[in-house]
Amino acid sequence: MSFQNPVFIPGPTNMPEALRRACDMPTLDHRSPLFGQILQPALAGVKKVLKTETAEVFLFPSTGTGGWETAITNCLSPGDKILAARNGMFSHRWIDMCQRHGLKVEVVEAAWGTGLPADRYEEILAADTNHEIKAVLATHNETATGVKSDIAAVRRALNAAKHPALLFVDGVSSIASMDFRMEEWGVDAAVTGSQKGFMLPPGLAIIALSPKAQAAVESARLPRTFFDVRDMMKAYANNAYPYTPAVGLMNGLKQSCDMLLAEGLDNVFARHHRIAEGVRAAVRAWGLELCAQTPDVYSDSVSAIRTPEGFNATGIVTHAAAKYGVAFGVGLGEVAGKVFRIGHLGSLTDVMMLSGLATAEMVMADLGLDIQLGSGVAAAQEVYRSDSAIASKEAA
């Protein structure tokens, strides 16, 4: 595997050199006033990216999985009931985590390749007249299938059912790459990590809790210490931290937010959309299909591409790494061997994406798929050529 080529996995993403440097800090005394000068702008920057003014942001030396655990252990109690849909590997894992923490999960099964069924949520919530359901889980972007769900619709379902359950959203592979409106959508807990849209190394769980979620913290009885947001809240007020913070990553997060906001969130989202459109045009040119079943659920951060019946899609990933030094993503869970994934989020340009598409073509041709070399590239080039206004404003 060559470090010269970009990666095309759905995170960790390619990192801008400026952010790597921001993370690679000399040792800083986190009990000195300098720490607050990193912490506070990082928290403020994340709030802007999440489009919330009322939520509190928490940063843990952890990952998105730790972020999920933070949301549930801080807001829920043993035996609480949860509503969640399973439409891919990551929604599956979150459900599993809830069960391991002693929560009762009402699971709505949805086809892998479809979005969250907000209508089913509404039915179940409306039927839950005793309000036994304490939280609704929603995966904004299913990284395993390349499927984006409609969080606003989930909120409407809750509202229609007049249900007080908390809305927890996994935005790990959407936040900072696709539009996320924490306040407008009434999200109570938003979870992400450092290594996706924020273009940083892994190692930071990023969690935001709405005032309603914060209010639930005191009565929540699931045990936690490392992930206890109360300790964080108390410490943040003094520009401090309950234990040793991952200062470098926090400094990187501060700069990442600065970089994203300088580019403009709308431009960031448009860039991701444009690059994704190029990938989707290539997939069509290849005569293949996305795992995502309908255009309304196409993800702008990752595409899972179905390969023909009988072909082992995992071979594409292995061969691309071994022969061309390029990393793509394998299919997971139910779609293992049936799809391969192209990550197109984070620090990426049209030009870099074209090298990924060109590689995918060579790999598929090498493995005997009926792919015309250059066909997908040409389709993507058409997309990238036509959107010049934005192309020139690529992230540094």
Q: Which residues does the annotation place in the binding site? A: 341
Asked if 124 and 106 count as a contact pair (C-beta separation under 8 A), the reply is: yes
Report CA 44 to chain centroid distance, whole Å: 20
Q: Tell which positions 185-224 bind its own copies, by CB under 8 A.
A: 193, 195, 201-203, 222-224
Spell out, one character per residue from 15 to 54, where the chain touches its own copies: x when CB under 8 A holds, - when not.
xxx--xx-xxxxxxxxxxxx--------------------
**Distance in Å, CB of 195 to its own copies, minimum:** 6
With contacts defined by CB under 8 A, name the span among 120-128, 159-167, 182-190, 341-349 that binds its own copies.
341-349
Nearest-angstrom CA–CA distance, 306 and 334 = 12
Selected from 52, 63, 74, 177, the binder of its own copies by CB under 8 A is 63
Asked if omega into 12 is within 30° of 0 (cis), the reply is yes
Complex with its own copies: residue 3 or 295, whichever CB lies closer: 3
- Binding-site size, its own copies (CB under 8 A): 102
Q: Cβ of residue 369: shortest distance to its own copies, in angstroms?
A: 13
In this structure, the number of other CB atoms found within 10 A of the CB of residue 314 comes to: 16
Cite the DSSP H helix spans in 161-306.
211-217, 229-237, 247-263, 265-285
Q: Is residue 354 close enough to count as binding its own copies by CB under 8 A?
A: yes
For the chain, percent helix, then strand, then coil, each to nearest 5?
Answer: 45, 15, 40
Residues 105 and 98 sit within 8 Å (Cβ to Cβ)? yes
Identify the residue among 71, 82, 97, 189 touching its own copies (CB under 8 A): 97
Helix 375-386 / helix 265-285 crossing angle, nearest 10 deg: 150
> Least distance (Å) from its own copies to the CB of residue 20?
6
Q: Which residues are annotated as a binding site for substrate?
A: 341
246 binds its own copies (CB under 8 A): yes
**Region 275-334 residues binding its own copies, contact defined as CB under 8 A:** 321-327, 329-330
Residue 262 found at the interface with its own copies (CB under 8 A): no
